Amino acid sequence: MLQPTPFKPAILFGTLFLLQLLGMQQTGKAQFPLPDSACGGVPVTLTNPAPGASGYYWNFCNTAISTTPGAVNLGNFGGAISVPTWISVAKDGNDYYAFTANHLDGTIIRLSFGSSLGNTPVAYNMGRMGNALPTLLESIKIINDNGIWYGLAVGGNAPTGVASGRVVLINFGASLANNTPVATNLGNFLAMGFPTDIKVLRESGNWAAFITDAYSNSRIVRLDFGNSLVNIPLATPINVPNMSFPTGMCEVKDRGNWYLFVCNNDNSTLTRINLGTSLFNNTPASQNLGNPGNLLHKTRDMMLLRTCDGLHGYVFSESNKLTGLRFGGDSVMGAITATDMGNPGNQFSFTHAASELLRSGDTLYSLVANVSNNSILRLAFGSCVTGSGVAAAHDSTPAVIFPNVSGSVPVNLLVDEGLPTQRAYCGSIYITQSPIIDSVVVHQPVTCDGREGSLWVFTSLANADCIFKYTKDGIPQNPVHLRTGGRGEIVIINLEAGVYDDITVTNGKCVSPPAGPYTLKGPLTPRFVIEHIPEGPLCEGDTAVLYALGLFENPSYLWSTGDTTTSIRVSQSGTYMLTLTDGICSGMDTAEIIFQPLPEFDLGNDTTICDNRPLTIGGLPYTAGQGASWQWNTADYDAAIAVSATGRYILEVDLNGCTAADTINITALVAPEVLLPPDGDICEDATIVLDAGNYGSAYRWSTGDTTQTISVTAAGRYDVHVSRSGCRDTGSVYFSFYPKPTVILPPDTVVCEE
């Protein structure tokens, strides 16, 4: 038989309760960056206020978690459970495990849940691990240290008070699925008589284990492992007053200080121990909190849970009753109000201790050991109680789509769940219902270019003040401020035919997805212009084709010329009109067609010239007038040019885009060329022959001679005219007269030699 007096284990829940950041209130204005409002159905990016944490859980419910647990009895797993005491749960990779201590035979049962704590587990008896585990086993705690899984187990006692307790270190290696872990008996520290509960915490890289020593000593023993759980620990007693047979405890870090809450089984009270800012260096202070509401009876275990609506406590008693605690001011130091929560689901049967809280999906779970019926009880704290929302785990900022319903929605971020550093960031965001365009009914105009058209836009918002925007034929129209009807309808009237697109309805800051395009196809007056081919200037002598430029469905034509064809040919200047009928509507356009006059000019008749006498052609008083341009086939651009060579000369004149050309043929005859000697002198009794050259020509000298050559003996000017085939040339020369010189020598004479 189990002896009720020495059998007084407790529960750990404090490592996973929801702490407030720096002790601030968790309700009202958010304590992290959060927009005041958002639109329903539209992704909202929320800023993560705690980067680098080990885990995140976003929750959008009226409370961060249900404060009333549901209870399901998982049974005995084929008789594997025998007087269960403490349970420790952990997640290794994607798999969840629970380890239960069987009190009497000192064995440990591993429960493998797979990917969810909501599954039915498979039990495996790991035995006493080479008898390292004591009989009368009490508590086990599972820890991961730098990738290696460890278990710390305590137990062993005698009703007579003999110090027979021990601490056992279990090394699972890299996986909790290991069926053959290595267990080491670390011995009994400070002569513990009945070690019941153990909590393992880490601060600044160093590990500390806190053990309740219930039998005789009523104290707590702290083991300091240093930077690794494989080190030999240093034991320190924590002796504080106001404890009587301490069993279970839970730890919490609140507003920078570490606390332990201890259940006193003998006097049914609670003790709060303040360890200060450090687990190692401070002198603890304690206070007995008494029996809140006188609802506690033979207390066994306690857990704390902080939600966005306050700090809650749960106390388990031997009487199978759960007592709820509420701490004033959301602080462990606040006044306590107690509530009798009865026996959830009538599943408690000498409830001994509960595991840590561990999240699986959107639910927090804790496993509870029932001693009397050797069963395991699963407590579930649901993520939502009232309201609606979505929950998602993110290690970075998530994009959340809220339901498209107006109202305030809580936003809760739980950080580092399962650790003493767990925090809760809580606030709210107002969701404005985003409008949705459900359907659009089009009413067409009925008259030519009429504005009897309308759009009936049915939205998801009834009797709401909205802004209506749209484009017509790609051009944004002025926004319309209006109020939707009782069916959410918006009626836009006085619309003409066209394509209406990008239709949106704005409610506050929320805009509906755009709708469209919708085409209003009422009768339209044909719109067109009369164009002509060829394009550009028209000149006298041309023929132009007139036609209507536009888009029509079934047109008919009536020209001012009486023609009913789609186009007409014209060659006279004038005003031409077209009446075009398309359906029931007619349109009209006129076009003034002008055939520009051609430039008038005449280069004259073909002619013959002498090549030594250039002829100027062009330069006549053209009707081209100002603004005309000229171009000769000689690459000249002047109005008149001088020519002296035989050839065909063409002039093209452009006036306002109209051109005309004329041609003249020039025959250039070779003119005679007279080459007389230069002016000079003629001596007395001398004769000079002058030759006019150009054999076969006609000659006329100033001397009256008509021969090609003449002889001259006297000084003077001599001119000659030479003509041949109508072409002529002249030449002249001037001679000065010089008499003969006179020479007089002396008479002959005789001279002497030398």
Taking only the tens place, the pLDDT of each residue in 78-90 is 999 999 999 999 9
With bands split at pLDDT 50, 70 and 90, how would you rate the model's confidence at 253?
A: confident
Sign of CA dihedral 435, 441, 447, 452: negative
Tens digits of residue pLDDT in 293-326 = 999 999 999 988 877 777 888 999 888 889 999 9
Highest mean pLDDT among 9-18, 124-133, 361-370: 124-133
The whole-number pLDDT of residue 337 equals: 95
* Range ranked top by mean pLDDT from 113-122, 209-218, 625-634: 113-122
Order the strands of the 698-701 sheet from edge to edge: 680-683, 727-738, 716-724, 698-701
Query: Can you give the pLDDT at residue 318?
Result: 87
Q: What mean pLDDT is predicted for residues 99-111?
A: 95
Q: What is the pLDDT of residue 728?
A: 92
CB 549 within 8 A of CB 529: yes
Mean pLDDT of 258-279: 94
pLDDT at 255: 85
Model confidence pLDDT, tens digit, residues 400-450: 888 888 888 878 777 766 566 666 777 788 888 899 999 999 999 999 999
Q: Alpha-carbon Rg of the chain, whole angstroms?
A: 60
Band of residue 392 on the pLDDT scale cut at 50, 70, 90 = low
Please say if the pLDDT value at position 578 is more than 60.
Answer: yes
Q: What is the pLDDT of residues 537-550, one digit of tens each?
A: 899 989 999 999 99
DSSP collapsed to 3 states, 298-339: CEEEEEEEEECCEEEEEEEECCCCEEEEEEHHHCCCCCEEEE
**Higher local confidence (pLDDT), 98 or 620:** 98
SS3 assignment, position 87: strand
In terms of pLDDT, which residue wins out, 634 or 2? Answer: 634
Classify residue 657 as exposed, middle or buried by CB count within 10 Å of its CB (0-12, 13-18, 19+): exposed
User: Mean pLDDT over residues 484-504, rounded?
Assistant: 94
Q: How many CB atoms lie within 10 A of CB 590?
A: 11
Distance CA 408, CA 388 (A): 11
DSSP labels, 414-453? EESTTSTT-EEEEEEEEEEPPP-EEEEEEE---STT---E
pLDDT band, very low/low/confident/very high, at 561 (cuts 50, 70, 90): very high
Q: Which residues, at least 6 apart from 214, have a Cβ–Cβ distance to it below 8 Å?
A: 6, 8, 193, 194, 195, 196, 245, 246, 247, 265
How would you write 674-722 as a 3-class SS string? CCCCCCEEEECCCCEEEECCCCCCEEEECCCCCCCEEEECCCEEEEEEE
With a cut of 50, say whether residue 3 has pLDDT above it.
no
Tokens for 519?
């085409």
φ/ψ of residue 137, rounded to 5: -65, 140
730 contacts 717 by C-beta, under 8 angstroms: no
Q: Are the C-beta atoms of residues 286 and 307 closer than 8 Å to each other?
A: no
- At residue 260, what is the residue type? L
Residue 672 CA: distances (Å) to CA of 697, 726, 732: 8, 10, 15
Q: What sign results for the dihedral spanned by CA atoms 129, 131, 133, 136?
A: positive
Rounded CA gap, 709 and 718, in Å?
12
Question: If you ran DSSP here, which 8-state letter would residue 512 be given?
Answer: P
pLDDT at position 696: 85
Contact, 421 vs 254, CB < 8 A?
no
pLDDT for res 390: 54
Cα separation values, 600 from 188, 538, 652, 654, 655, Å: 132, 17, 11, 10, 10
Condensed to tens digits (0 to 9), the pLDDT of residues 125-162 reads 999 999 999 999 999 999 999 999 999 999 987 555 55
How much is the pLDDT for 20?
30
pLDDT tens digits for 659-694? 889 999 999 998 898 888 998 888 888 889 989 888
Please report which confidence band the pLDDT of residue 227 belongs to, taking 50, 70 and 90 as the band edges: very high
Query: CA-CA distance, 622 to 603, in Å (whole number)?
Result: 10
Tell me which DSSP letter residue 4 carries: T
Give, in degrees to the nearest 5, the angle at Cα 560 between 556 and 564: 30
The answer to whether 325 touches 338, Cβ cutoff 8 Å, is yes
424 or 464: which leads in pLDDT: 464
What pLDDT is attached to residue 17?
29
Alpha carbon distance 359, 64 (integer Å): 13
Return the closest-CA partner of residue 88 out of 20, 17, 10.
10
**Highest mean pLDDT (candidates 48-62, 561-575, 595-609):** 561-575
Distance CA 411, CA 59 (A): 6
Q: What is the pLDDT of residue 399?
A: 77
At 592-626, the pLDDT tens digits run 999 988 888 888 899 999 988 899 998 765 554 56
Q: Could you tell me the CA-to-CA distances from 159 to 3, 155, 266 in Å, in that order? A: 9, 13, 15
Task: State which H helix or E strand residue 90 sits in.
Answer: strand 84-92
The reply to whether omega before 159 is within 30° of 0 (cis) is no
User: Minimal CA–CA distance to 211: which of 194, 234, 231, 228?
Assistant: 194
Q: Which of 24, 58, 25, 56 is nearest to 309 (CA)?
A: 25
pTM of the model: 0.61
Peptide bond into 237 cis (omega under 30): no
* pLDDT recorded at residue 748: 87
Mean residue pLDDT of the chain comes to 86
Asked if residues 641 and 634 have their Cβ atoms less than 8 Å apart, the reply is yes
**Quick one: what percent of the chain has pLDDT higher than 90?**
58
- CA dist 472 and 258 (Å) reads 68
Say how far apart CA 355 and CA 377 lie, in whole Å. 10
Mean pLDDT lowest among 67-71, 132-136, 366-370: 67-71
Separation CA 530–CA 590 (nearest Å): 7
pLDDT confidence tier of residue 22, bands split at 50, 70 and 90: very low
